[in-house]
Amino acid sequence: MTATSATWPSLVPSGSLGAMRRAIAIFALLAAACSSEVPAEPTPPSAVPYPYPFTTPTPAREQTALDGVWERNVPDELAGPEGKCVRCPPYRLELGDTNTLTIDRGTFEIEHELHGWTNEGHVFVEGDLARFINDPNCTSAEGVYRWRVSGDELTFELVEDGCAFGELRPRYLTSTPWTRSG
């Protein structure tokens, strides 16, 4: 008996080699059965982080008429006063700030270039209405806006918005047009 064969029985008890082979074969068959094929046309990754669903249902992950990257600069006359604002972001209008609104297959993200503030949520686009939900600043309130695209400009008109922060979100979305940038 060689040294290798002498240690084999101590590692695998007698009669269990066949059971081990069967277990490996069953595992391999299960792994193959549970794997799925890659879809013919995989859904491209979203440009927006997927928001937490504070309320449901959430929009389908399908392209909408508003999908794209929209930007605008805050004009002097709309900018808020300088100073510390603890609860204003992301809906603060600041002088010299570039705001970006990205809408991508049922999600939205707001970004402020000046300070790096961000916010995201879901948006249903139904006809000429956009319904914003799951905003972490307004978790259970929805904002409904009538939208219009003319050329590369997007404008929102307030229908109703139950966000508890006064008129911050409506003012932010409706104060000036957004220009398509991507």
pLDDT tens-place string over residues 76-98: 677 665 555 555 566 777 767 88
Instruction: Quote the pLDDT of residue 157.
Output: 97
Instruction: Quote the pLDDT of residue 165.
Output: 65
Calpha distance 9→26 (Å, rounded):
23
Q: Is residue 32 part of a domain?
A: no
Q: Report the 10 Å Cβ neighbour count for 126.
A: 11
Instruction: Quote the pLDDT of residue 44.
Output: 47
Q: Is residue 140 part of a domain?
A: yes
Q: Is residue 8 part of a domain?
A: no
Residue 152 vs residues 68, 70, 73: alpha-carbon distances, Å: 11, 9, 15
Calpha distance 139→163 (Å, rounded):
8
Instruction: Quote the pLDDT of residue 88.
Output: 57
Q: Is residue 144 part of a domain?
A: yes
Instruction: Quote the pLDDT of residue 182.
Output: 66
pTM, full prediction: 0.67
Tokens of 142: 């929805």
- Residues in the chain predicted with pLDDT less than 70, given as ranges, are 1-49, 76, 79-90, 95, 164-166, 182
Instruction: Quote the pLDDT of residue 139.
Output: 82
Tokens of 70: 């929209």
Write the CATH number for 138.
2.40.128
Number of structural domains (the chain) is 1
Q: Is residue 90 part of a domain?
A: yes
Cis upstream peptide for 57 (omega within 30°):
yes
- Domain of residue 141 covers 68-180
Instruction: Quote the pLDDT of residue 130.
Output: 97
Q: Is residue 44 part of a domain?
A: no
Q: Is 69 exposed, middle or buried (0-12, 13-18, 19+ CB in 10 A)?
A: middle
Q: Is residue 167 part of a domain?
A: yes
Q: Is residue 16 part of a domain?
A: no
Instruction: Quote the pLDDT of residue 7.
Output: 47
Instruction: Quote the pLDDT of residue 22.
Output: 62
